[in-house]
Amino acid sequence: MVDRELTCKACEGTGMLADDEGWQYNCSVCRGKGVLSPNETNQSAEIMSVDDNNRLLD
């Protein structure tokens, strides 16, 4: 069982996010794992590329 304090709050532990059009992509906070280890909580944000519709480009 995963500790609730370590569950990614952005994707609610699923590892996937979806935009308003239904496009799904890996969570950029936990990198698709669904959980954060205690040493990853202080990790800096990473700027990602987006297209004209603000969709993330993988």
pLDDT digits 0-9 by tens, 7-57: 888 898 899 998 889 899 999 888 889 888 776 655 666 767 888 888 888
Q: Is residue 32 part of a domain?
A: yes
User: In this predicted structure, what is the pLDDT of residue 36?
Assistant: 84
Q: How many CA atoms lie within 13 A of 10 on its CB side?
A: 18
Q: Is residue 16 part of a domain?
A: yes
Q: How many CA atoms lie within 13 A of 6 on its CB side?
A: 10
pTM here is 0.55
Q: Is residue 31 part of a domain?
A: yes
User: In this predicted structure, what is the pLDDT of residue 24?
Assistant: 92
Q: Is residue 10 part of a domain?
A: yes
Q: Which two tokens stand for residue 42?
A: 């202080």
For residue 11, which of 36, 44, 39 has the smallest C-alpha distance?
Answer: 36
Q: Is residue 8 part of a domain?
A: yes
Q: Is residue 58 part of a domain?
A: no
Q: Is residue 52 part of a domain?
A: no
Q: Is residue 20 part of a domain?
A: yes
Task: Provide the domain count of the chain.
Answer: 1
User: In this predicted structure, what is the pLDDT of residue 48?
Assistant: 77
Domain housing 17: 1-38
